[in-house]
Amino acid sequence: MTGQKYVVVGAGPVGSLAALYAAKRGHDVEIYELRGDLRDPSTTPLNFTKSINLALSERGINAMRHADQQGLLDHVVSATIPMRGRMIHGKRPSGELYEEPQDYDIHGRTIFAVDRAGLNTRLLDILGAMPNVKFFFNYKLTGADFKRRKAWFEVRNQNSPSGRPEEIEISFDFMMGADGAHSAVRYHLMKFTRMNYQQEYVDTLWCEFQIKPKEGNELHDQKSKFRISPNHLHIWPGKQFMFIAIPSEDGSFTCTLFLPGAEFANLEADPSKLPTFFDQHFPGVTSLIEPSELISSFEENPHLPLISIKCQPYHYSSSVVILGDAAHAMVPFYGQGMNAGLEDVRILFSILDKHAAAENNNPDDPGSDDAEYQRGMALAEYSALRVADAHAINDLALQNYVEMRASVLSPTYRLRKFLEEFMSVHLPSLGWQTKYSRVSFGNERYSEVVAKSNHQGKVLLRGLIAMLCSPVLVGGLGLYLTQRRGSGSVPLLDVIRNLTRR
Ligand code: FAD
């Protein structure tokens, strides 16, 4: 199935990786991108005042690992900062500020803060050096006919004599739509397939801030540029609100304020209230960001909505598929949007490869006649497999907002995390892990993660009920833990502290 014309719409992280996978398989790849070339400093990424830092984790890394591109992963990972856990910020009743680390993983695995533009640029550079890849920047998809395999693009920096942008028509064998949450490919796909579609705006807006690096003679090493720990994702949980900070290589932190719309409206009416609001809900932030800067960032940076989209199927016939945010935009609270999109690419191509191999193994007709038929089969298999997983991570992302802004402080949450990690270390044969570990450090299907985590939850609940009802079991556990204390692996006091720690 080589030598086909693959058109990718959207040169974000997902479209760029999809283009790389296609180009590596020998297809002629054309990439059409609404905006200018990201590598041109005058191009501002949509929605962001500058490039933002995202959490990259195993699924995104694995997708790059399978791109068959020497050096890609090393290059991307070398520019990341490992984050070993959350750092919860708060204020004790005495007024004292505290920071409390919560590791993501008992085995010490980390997620990575990555500059979105850096990752994207690396992919564009690799694609730019490939003879079978062509870029079309400032081209906006305006129409598509997936039966005739034709598409229309507005050329944004080229006006016709009438003053309207020029439009061009192209043909293709296969289109991959990676054009983000407001996907035009998805919009046109809906006219060709009976797509179920659901979108939800959550009652939360977000706005970006920045903690600047330290300056001057106080800097002894790279790490001392950071005003707070560089190896954590910092959270100021506010029950209904949340402020987070993710480290950047230059010592700064990209920060995001998440608030319900009504709270934003209150603050927009009088931004001078912002420092007091922060002191009340996010203690300590005003010593990291000057109050005047808080106000100016709030006034200058956009206040943006969060959308969660579910749809199915993701394809039509053998001519088009949607990937990444175009297929499953999600709220950012699990740090999985981009990771899931990159994973889409790996899974899609593993299925396409399997069907291409079947076509080539056909002794009656080895070659290209079957190409479209096999791709159609592959796309149907991809939609059938991936929809359940994309829906699962969309739901997990919505649920994680509650975890990040409130549950991280709850004893029940800590108890469950502790017990699941305890089982993972002391009874590894049971294969227990926390949900977070399965999502962020593994490649199991998201739908299986949910099923396994629900099962663990039920077993834990039954175990706890049985324990509470059985003095013998409580005595036995006490004895076991005391003995383990002797071997130094599970000090009883640690257990009690983990259960009761605030
Ligand atoms: P996009 O990045 O949206 O790229 C789509 C591209 O298509 C754009 O370049 C756009 O210009 C182009 N395009 C759009 N329309 C057209 C058209 N008609 N014609 C041609 N081109 C078009 N994800 C994580 O994994 N970890 C995180 O920590 C994380 N944090 C986040 C924090 C915030 C505040 C937000 C908002 C998102 C976060 N995400 C995170 C999600 C992540 O940003 C997205 O999932 C990811 O960018 C999706 O990549 P994409 O390539 O599918 O789409």
The mean-pLDDT minimum among 8-17, 198-207, 280-289, 398-407 falls in 398-407
On the question of pLDDT at 345 being above 90, the answer is yes
Question: Which among 48, 179, 303, 343 is the best mutation to test ligand 1's pocket, defined by most ligand atoms within 8 Å of the CB?
Answer: 179
Residue 182 lies in a domain: yes
Residue 253 lies in a domain: no
pLDDT one-digit tens code per residue, 298-322: 999 999 999 999 999 999 999 999 9
Q: Is the CB of 32 under 6 A from ligand 1?
A: yes
Q: Are 89 and 243 in contact (CB under 8 A)?
A: no
Q: Confidence class of residue 159 from pLDDT cuts 50, 70 and 90?
A: low
Q: Which residues of 244-261 are buried (b: 16+ CB within 10 A; e: fewer)?
A: bbbbbbebbbbbbbbbee
On the question of pLDDT at 101 being above 80, the answer is yes
Q: Confidence class of residue 338 from pLDDT cuts 50, 70 and 90?
A: very high
Q: Calculate how far, in angstroms, residue 113's C-alpha sits from the geometric centre of ligand 1.
A: 16
Residue 213 lies in a domain: no
Same domain, 386 and 414: no
Same domain, 399 and 416: no
Q: Calculate how far, in angstroms, residue 217's C-alpha sits from the geometric centre of ligand 1.
A: 39
Q: Of the candidates 403, 421, 453, which is a domain's last residue? A: 403
Residue 335 lies in a domain: yes
Same domain, 380 and 443: no
The protein residue whose alpha carbon is closest to atom 12 in ligand 1 is 10
Q: What is the pLDDT of residue 179?
A: 98
Q: Is the CB of 33 under 6 A from ligand 1?
A: yes
Q: Confidence class of residue 208 from pLDDT cuts 50, 70 and 90?
A: very high
Q: Is the CB of 58 under 6 A from ligand 1?
A: no
Domains in the chain, number: 2
Residue, of 51 and 89, whose pLDDT is higher = 89
On the question of pLDDT at 502 being above 70, the answer is no
Q: What is the pLDDT of residue 364?
A: 59
Question: CA–CA separation, 197 vs 180, rounded Å?
Answer: 15
Phi then psi dihedrals of residue 71, to 5 deg: 85, -15
Query: Residue 491: CA atoms inside 13 Å, Cβ hemisphere, count?
Result: 5
Q: For residue 349, what is the enclosing H or E element?
A: helix 337-360
Same domain, 355 and 431: no
Q: Of the candidates 403, 424, 444, which is a domain's last residue? A: 403
Cβ contacts of 206 within 8 Å, gap of 6 or more = 256, 257, 258, 259, 303, 304, 306, 332
Residue 216 lies in a domain: no
Q: Calculate how far, in angstroms, residue 178's C-alpha sits from the geometric centre of ligand 1.
A: 9
On the question of pLDDT at 495 being above 60, the answer is no
Same domain, 125 and 173: yes
Share of the chain above pLDDT 90, in %: 70
Q: Which two tokens stand for residue 6?
A: 């693959």
**Identity of the amino acid at 333:** F
**3-state SS string for 141-199:** EEEEECCCCEEEEEEEEEECCCCCEEEEEEECCEEEECCCCCCHHHHHHCCCCCCEEEE
The protein residue whose alpha carbon is closest to atom 43 in ligand 1 is 338
Same domain, 339 and 463: no
pLDDT one-digit tens code per residue, 104-136: 998 899 999 999 999 999 999 999 999 999 999
Q: Is the CB of 12 under 6 A from ligand 1?
A: yes
Question: CA–CA separation, 432 vs 61, rounded Å?
Answer: 23
Q: Calculate how far, in angstroms, residue 402's C-alpha sits from the geometric centre of ligand 1.
A: 23
Pick the atom of ligand 1 nearest to 15's CA. Answer: 51
The protein residue whose alpha carbon is closest to atom 36 in ligand 1 is 332
**Does residue 191 come out as left (phi exceeding 0), alpha (psi in the -120 to 50 range) or beta?**
alpha
pLDDT one-digit tens code per residue, 367-384: 555 889 999 999 999 999
Q: Calculate how far, in angstroms, residue 399's C-alpha sits from the geometric centre of ligand 1.
A: 21
Structural domain for 390, as ranges: 5-80+114-198+309-403
Burial tier of 183 (Cβ tally within 10 Å: 0-12, 13-18, 19+): buried
Q: Calculate how far, in angstroms, residue 147's C-alpha sits from the geometric centre of ligand 1.
A: 28
Q: Of the candidates 351, 376, 403, which is a domain's last residue? A: 403
Same domain, 366 and 449: no
Mean pLDDT on 217-229: 76
Q: What is the pLDDT of residue 148?
A: 98
Same domain, 141 and 46: yes
Q: Is the CB of 11 under 6 A from ligand 1?
A: yes
Q: What is the pLDDT of residue 375?
A: 96
Residue 436 lies in a domain: yes
The mean-pLDDT minimum among 200-204, 360-364, 492-496 falls in 492-496
For residue 66, CA distances in Å to 10, 21, 341, 342 come to 21, 9, 14, 11
Q: What is the pLDDT of residue 401?
A: 83
Q: Confidence class of residue 464 from pLDDT cuts 50, 70 and 90?
A: confident
Q: Is-cis flag, bond preceding 313, omega within 30?
A: yes
Other beta carbons less than 10 A from residue 173's beta carbon? 18
Question: Which among 141, 325, 386, 446 is the best mutation to test ligand 1's pocket, defined by most ligand atoms within 8 Å of the CB?
Answer: 325
Same domain, 362 and 431: no
DSSP state of 134: E
**Average pLDDT score, the chain:** 88
Q: Which two tokens stand for residue 426?
A: 């002391």
Q: Confidence class of residue 165 from pLDDT cuts 50, 70 and 90?
A: confident
Residue 383 lies in a domain: yes
Same domain, 9 and 158: yes
Q: What is the pLDDT of residue 414?
A: 74
Residue, of 399 and 57, whose pLDDT is higher = 57
The mean-pLDDT minimum among 57-66, 154-163, 439-448 falls in 154-163
Same domain, 368 and 415: no
Residue 437 lies in a domain: yes
Same domain, 456 and 393: no
pLDDT one-digit tens code per residue, 403-427: 766 666 677 777 777 777 777 777 7
Q: Calculate how far, in angstroms, residue 475's C-alpha sits from the geometric centre of ligand 1.
A: 53
pLDDT one-digit tens code per residue, 266-288: 999 999 999 999 999 999 999 99
